[in-house]
Amino acid sequence: MENEFKYEDYKKTAEWLLSHTELRPQIAVICGSGLGGLANRVTQRQAFDYTEIPNFPQSTVPGHAGRLVFGYLNDKCCVMMQGRFHMYEGYPLWKVAFPVRVFQLMHVHTLIVTNAAGGLNPEYEVGDIMLIRDHINLPGLCGQNPLRGANEDRFGVRFPPMSDAYDRILRQKAHGVWKQMDQERPLHEGTYVMVGGPNYETIAECRFLQRMGADAVGMSTVPEVIVARHCGLRVFGFSLITNKSILDYETHETANHEEVLMAGHQAAKKLEQFVCILVESMPPPLEKTF
């Protein structure tokens, strides 16, 4: 389960990409389930299938294309993952987060993570967006951490802090952008909990997660964020609420992947527009703090 790749393996992938495109992205975006449409909005688009990139893991989930897309959103050069890797596909977590270190070696300074999530907070409706203020790394609390094993000091410190993982300035900015967009629904801000999946949660599990302090639940994002913070990237993210978690035994509905993809599809335009404006108005990062 421990990282089989050396620093040089990440370097090889970064150098391969830099030698196959002239674009020099500063912002990376990981597109969650049904949210890959953002990558079609870029100009000067240049795309690579994961299959052609040395050392890159391959994606297996329907709704996740498996493509790395370079291009501009307004004047900002971006690289976007259309399709990510999940623990439930059988990948060790260091592999799930492999692209993040490659981005850092390509001099990306900011990572934007997006995902589809179940709404545990009863105020959340399907189609709502939650800015991620904090996370609970449920697999991590049981020892499943992408940083497990020998530390690579060239990426970061052995014991990185996580109390400041989601950038406060960018979160404030997002609220300002949301106000300007004049949306009916509020922009939520809350805690994302990662579970291993692939099954959706039982009612008892949803109740447990809610009582733990989580507002939304999903099967991704946290490994990438941990690795990004470890190597000094600025991180910002949001969840699209694609279904309401089932919290009472009277309900006869169940969560399913089609519902998740459908909600992602319907809210995609709003989301894409939101991310575009955010990227456009994104300030440069402050100095690295560790």
Q: Note the helical H segments in 74-221.
A: 93-96, 98-105, 138-141, 168-181, 203-212
**How many Cβ atoms sit within 10 Å of the Cβ of residue 288?**
11
> Which of 129, 193, 217, 227 contacts ligand HPA by CB under 6 A?
217
Region of residue 170 (left: phi > 0; alpha: psi -120 to 50; beta: else): alpha
Q: Which stretch binds ligand HPA (CB under 6 A): 42-50, 146-154, 183-191, 241-249?
A: 241-249
DSSP 91-103: --HHHHTHHHHHH
Given the residues 88, 109, 255, 268, select the one marked as catalytic.
88
Instruction: Tell me the window of 20-28, 50-58, 213-221, 272-280 that interacts with ligand HPA (CB under 6 A).
Output: 213-221
Alpha-carbon gap, residue 139 to 148, rounded angstroms: 12
**Is 89 designated active site?**
yes
Q: Which residues inside 6-65 make contact with ligand HPA, applying CB under 6 A? A: none
Choosing from 242, 271, 277, 279, the residue that interacts with ligand HPA (CB under 6 A) is 242
Q: Please state the three-class secondary structure of 50-75 as a single string.
A: HHHCCCCCCCCCCCCCCEEEEEEECC
Give the angle 95-232-173 at the CA atoms, nearest 5°. 110
Give the interface segment with ligand HPA, choosing from 116-124, 141-149, 156-164, 269-277 (CB under 6 A): 116-124
By rule CB under 6 A, what count of residues binds ligand HPA?
A: 14
Concerning whether 116 is annotated as a catalytic residue, the answer is: yes
69 vs 67: CA distance, rounded Å: 6
DSSP string, 152-169: -TTT--SS---TT-S-HH
Q: Which of these is catalytic: 219, 263, 267, 282?
A: 219
Q: Is 201 in the site for ligand HPA (CB under 6 A)?
A: yes
Residues 256-275 that bind ligand HPA (CB under 6 A): 260
Catalytic residue, candidates 220, 245, 263, 282: 220
Q: Which residues are catalytic?
A: 33, 64, 86, 88-89, 116, 219-220, 243, 257
User: Can you give the binding site for ligand HPA, defined by CB under 6 A?
Assistant: 116-118, 195, 200-201, 217-219, 242-243, 245, 255, 260
